[in-house]
Amino acid sequence: MRAPVAHSALGSEVQGQVLGLGGDGRYFGKEAAQQIIKLAAGNGFKKVVVGRDAIMATPAMSAMIRRRKLYGGLIMSASHNPGGPDNDFGIKFNYKGGEPAPESITDKIYGETQKVAVLNMADLPDIDLAKVGGAKVAGRALGRLGVTQFGEFEVEVVDEVEDYLAVLQEVFDFPALRAFISRPDFKLVFDAMHAVTGPYANRILVKELGAPSSSVMNGVPSPTFNGGHPDPNLTYAEELVKIMFSPDAPDFGAASDGDGDRNMILGNNFFITPSDSVAMIAANASAIPYFRSGLKGVARSMPTSAALDRVAKQQGLPFFETPTGWKFFGNLMDAGKCSVCGEESFGTGGDHIREKDGIFAVLSWLSILAAKNKDTAPGSKLVGVREVALEHWKTYGRNFFSRYDYEEVSSEDAAKVMDTVRAVVAASPKGTKFGEFEVDFADDFEYTDPIDGSKASKQGLRFVFTDGSRIIFRLSGTGSSGATIRLYIEQYSADAAKLEEDAQKALGPIIKIALELSQLKQLTGREQPTVIT
């Protein structure tokens, strides 16, 4: 039945292995899944485990790989980018530990794409991906329940939530969460943004934890994300933001992105930055059973604010600053050096899996609120998201932080901006003054992995000032058209009178300096960023 095995990026390593498969439900996912199954059979895999309707959130894939000890998994997604016939589609490979494949593998895969001449596809009929526990293909023998057999090759259609839920139940106290969420004086809303987390939120928040079904909005995955941009931030999750900043807002709000690995956390008329979120989860980790024996260490990406650093220092925890990219956290976790980590780009995670995890962040915050309100009598004022944040800032101070995204900038103009900033970095030795800010150092961030010794260079142009304030510039090219310039601005304050000040007001002077030194407005013609976080 199988075609001869062709040379591939992973060679004979794939022979007889089991591959996971799923995606975020975007356009072309089901069609691509059928082709991938045929290619897997034609290239020596013995089995494919695919999520129902080809659905599988990125953190759920990591959980399934680890729990079932799969060889790896293919995730059909373009993360938080729009979907549809005219928008983005992508495929990511996660390896044996559930982590994004290392560059040693992705470089080989890219190399194969430059020379591939033959696709070895097995002659198989399409699989019924809609039915778990009873996939049917006319004229073919069915093996074990839910497993379709074609000679030695098998396809198993699985519930996309089961393995992931089992892992989360090992991390969190589900009975305690259910008791808190069922309080008549507590209301929550979760926005799945017509993306992959709809089935997960309905199963976990509603069925397992007892939230009303009305708590989940936009909960049915759409191939085009209902025409929206499934990026959980204050701009693209506008519908949720309006609800949470209304006079009768729920106590807790959250959103997740296209493939379920990012998150946004909101309180009643209150926004938690991703940088603060990971710091506050780490500071309150004892509320989560999985972490009650203590954190092994914490880590953040370089552009993420230093709020986590302050928690690590006060609690005596090992701390790591890495380039952007979850693979760097995975190395630390595999070495037993990191329990909680995060990125300012709305990614938060723990070492229960090897991906950032949107639902994990949501359940972490609900666990913190449940612990804070353990002794709050019915009818008394609940400790909310705002109160958790204020308590944290009074203890550690506040790292005011904002990110400006300039999307779909022409590659030429983006390069001009980065070249301009690079020249200013080179001309800014220690002691250089920018208004009231004095340079401690300015550089292009480099990282040597403490586990495997690998080096990553040119990871972001940064100005670090003597008071701890920072200005950072990075380019991102993950969208379908043009580049995105990301500007990160941070300033620390321990002044109790300023802890609730609006971040844009507090950061006004340093934002002005960043725009001036980069000549961003002049070089791009952009008066305002596309997204402000």
266 vs 251: CA distance, rounded Å: 9
Q: Rounded to an integer, what distance in angstroms lies between the CA atom of residue 409 and that of residue 403?
A: 16
Report which residue type is found at 283.
A
Beta strands in 323-375 (DSSP E): 340-343, 347-350
Alpha helices in 202-354 (DSSP H): 238-244, 274-283, 307-315, 326-334
**CA atoms of 112 and 90, how far apart (whole Å):** 17
Task: Please state the φ and ψ torsions of residue 422, each to the nearest 5 degrees.
Answer: -60, -40
Tokens of 256: 């997740």
* CA-based nearest residue to 16, from 47, 54, 42: 47
In this structure, the number of other CB atoms found within 10 A of the CB of residue 135 comes to 21
Active-site residue, 79 included: yes
Q: Which of 94, 165, 102 lies closest to 352 in space, CA to CA?
A: 165
CB atoms within 10 A of CB 17: 16
**Structure-token pair, residue 512:** 């002005």
Tokens of residue 145, six digits: 């329940």
Q: Which are the contacts of 145, defined by CB distance < 8 A and separation ≥ 6?
A: 133, 134
The gap between the terminal CA atoms of the chain, to the nearest Å, is 53
422 burial type by CB count under 10 A (0-12 exposed, 13-18 middle, 19+ buried): middle
Instruction: Kindly name the residue from 79, 305, 339, 493 that is annotated as catalytic.
Output: 79
Catalytic positions, written as ranges: 79
